[in-house]
Structure 1
Amino acid sequence: MSDALAKAEAAASEAATNTAAVQLALAAVELAKLAHQQPAAQPPACHQAHRQGRSPGEWLGIGAAVCVGGVGIAFASIAIAICGMSVAILALVLRSIWGDIQKKR
């Protein structure tokens, strides 16, 4: 029985040695793979955010805003002109009425 036990111990020891050798070989293969890989590209040293040009959608939005603003300014100008003419006509009518009242006295 001790002969069988000795054989079993020798087989276990050999298996452990083989397992360690296999692990060592796998580690060497992994290390070789890492050594042959190219280093990762380094990011540029400049950390400023560079903005690309505006997209077509942004340009359309800007153009639409300018058009709407222009139409709004045009309507505001027309409204101011109408108010000014109304005040001028009112002033002429009141002056005429005031002149008529002054003549009757």
Structure 2
Amino acid sequence: MSDALEKAEAAAREAAQNTVNVEHIVAAVLAAQQAQRQPAPQHQCEHQHKPRRSAGEWLGIACAVCVGGVGIAFASLALAILGGTAAIVVLVLRSMWVDFQKRR
């Protein structure tokens, strides 16, 4: 009977070892399934994108550029008139100076 008892004990040890091995295999399979279910995280940009300008904003910018261009044109015209006037004044004063020098 002790031979049967030893065989039973050996079988019980082997069954216990098989149970531990089966538990490890099941845990590995479950972990693999869980990894397959979760999609890999997609790469996302870390910087902030600026919102694009609307048509109204572009229209406002275009109007501002036009008004600025007209202002620059009038300023240039005013400088040209001022330069011409200054040249005439200088010529008149020079002519007066020459006449004044001749009278002396």
Could you state the TM-score of these two structures normalised by the residue count of structure 1?
Answer: 0.55
1:65 corresponds to: 64
**Counterpart Cα distance in 2 of 1:43 and 1:104:** 96
2:50 corresponds to: 51
**Counterpart Cα distance in 2 of 1:74 and 1:52:** 34
CA RMSD of aligned residues (A): 2.1
2:98 corresponds to: 99
1:77 corresponds to: 76
Deviations 1:10-50 (A, max 9, x none): xxxxxxxxxxxxxxxxxxxxxxxxxxxxx9xx886323222
Give unmatched runs, 5+ long, in structure 1.
1-38
- Aligned pair count? 65
Could you state the TM-score of these two structures normalised by the residue count of structure 2?
Answer: 0.55
**Counterpart Cα distance in 2 of 1:56 and 1:75:** 29
Please state whether the residue corresponding to 1:45 is helix, strand or coil: coil
**Counterpart Cα distance in 2 of 1:71 and 1:77:** 10
**Counterpart Cα distance in 2 of 1:69 and 1:44:** 45
Please state whether the residue corresponding to 1:96 is helix, strand or coil: helix
- Letter of the 1:56 partner, please give it: A
1:89 corresponds to: 88
Q: Offset of 1:51 from its aligned partner?
A: 2.8
Give unmatched runs, 5+ long, in structure 2.
1-37
